[in-house]
Homo-oligomer: A and B are copies of this chain.
């Protein structure tokens, strides 16, 4: 970066999808045009914006096209920034761009987590680059950090608060004692949750993101459907309060680590201890904690969503590729035998029951009928649940404890 100015050199890109992030991308490039030219040594110009709609009142109205072939057939366009969301036609459009020798950047976690191998193979075949900084952590430069600054580290583990909507809901449940439904309604009012919040509150969004982070760390992409994923719908404010009293915050955690040549990845609500920096990542913020063998623990914190932060990440990929600092990936598919079975995952358990339990009596109390157990495997936790039921207890909550 900050290279000598190549006078009057322009590099052309196209934007696919002129929604919130697509608009933000155009805005960042326009707003910081001078600074970007100075630092890159050339100008970056948006030549086309592909969308089904017209935007007659937009300053970019004259760039809007409806026929993707115009972009594919224009040899001046070096790079396509896909911000359409969803797998289709984002996948097909990205593949055809790369076949036309254009690099592609995306903010689309679904297409990366689901079709990443095909997309990266296509990039390689065509000698172009496929990058996706904005797909995880919004504006937080977590992917570039893993790829470059931490490349000399053997990554041991990544734990992240990867979804702003659920983090906002859990923060509100903690600070105001609100029930899940109330906190969700509040998130909707503030524009932090969509009309259909399933992808967020059921952990699907976080699942895609941890799949991508696991692939970056361990070189193998786990299919999202093979990642144990739980959301936060069943979290009760009683348990959030109990956790808080015991020195924990309840957070939706995406977690991945490598052990015995297997990769473990899952998404679920967890109790995070007060000394863990993730416990203080609140509201819509995201935090991603990376543990490398040399660097130790590093955490990146910032806005995990939103127009300008996400656009900032898209533009960083655009600049990296156009300045010749793109990254190529050699991921392969994680085979069945390379993925830790969730029943083998070991954690301490927060358990709340109604009724008297002799089985739990030896564990640390954490509120009325609530206990924090010693570490046990998921398989053993399920057995414990069954034994508690046999004792006549009703399981009101079971939440795993991080670390």
Which A residues form the contact surface with B (CB < 8 A)?
Answer: 1-3, 24, 28-29, 31-32, 35-36, 39-40, 133, 139-141, 144-145, 147-154, 275, 277, 280-282, 285, 292-303, 306, 308-309, 311-313, 315-316, 319-320, 324-325, 327-330
B329, A308: Cβ atoms under 8 Å? no
Q: Is the CB of A302 within 8 A of B298?
A: yes
Judging by beta carbons under 8 Å apart, are A292 and B277 in contact?
no
Choice from B2, B292, B313 contacting A329 with Cβ under 8 Å: B2
Q: Are A152 and B328 in contact (CB under 8 A)?
A: no
With A and B bound together, what is the CA distance between A296 and B149 in angstroms? 21
29 A-B contacts, Cβ less than 8 Å apart?
A1-B147, A2-B329, A28-B152, A31-B294, A32-B154, A32-B293, A36-B152, A139-B294, A139-B295, A141-B149, A145-B145, A148-B148, A148-B319, A148-B320, A148-B325, A152-B312, A152-B315, A152-B316, A275-B282, A292-B312, A295-B302, A295-B309, A297-B302, A298-B302, A299-B299, A299-B300, A299-B301, A324-B324, A325-B325
Counting chain B CB atoms within 10 Å of each CB, which of A145, A295, A319 scores highest? A295
Minimal beta-carbon separation of A212 from chain B (angstroms): 15
Other-chain contact of A296, B139, B154, B293 (Cβ < 8 Å): B139
A151 & B1 in contact (Cβ 8 Å cutoff): yes
Residues of B within 8 A of A36 (CB): 151-152
Give CA–CA (A139, B2) in the complex, Å. Answer: 23
Check A299 against B302 for contact (C-beta < 8 Å). yes
A294 CA to B21 CA, complexed, in Å: 12
Q: Is the CB of B32 within 8 A of A152?
A: yes
CA distance A145 to B144 in the complex (A): 8
Instruction: List B contacts of A28 (CB < 8 A).
Output: 152, 294
Task: Give the distance to chain B from A119, nearest Cβ to Cβ, in Å.
Answer: 15
4 new A-B contacts, CB < 8 A, other than A277-B301, A298-B300, are A2-B151, A133-B149, A294-B308, A299-B299
**Which residues from B are CB-within-8-Å of A293?**
31-32, 308
Least CB separation from A27: chain B residue: B294
How far is B116's CA from A51's CA once the two chains are assembled, in angstroms? 48
Beta-carbon contact of B296 and A302 below 8 Å: yes
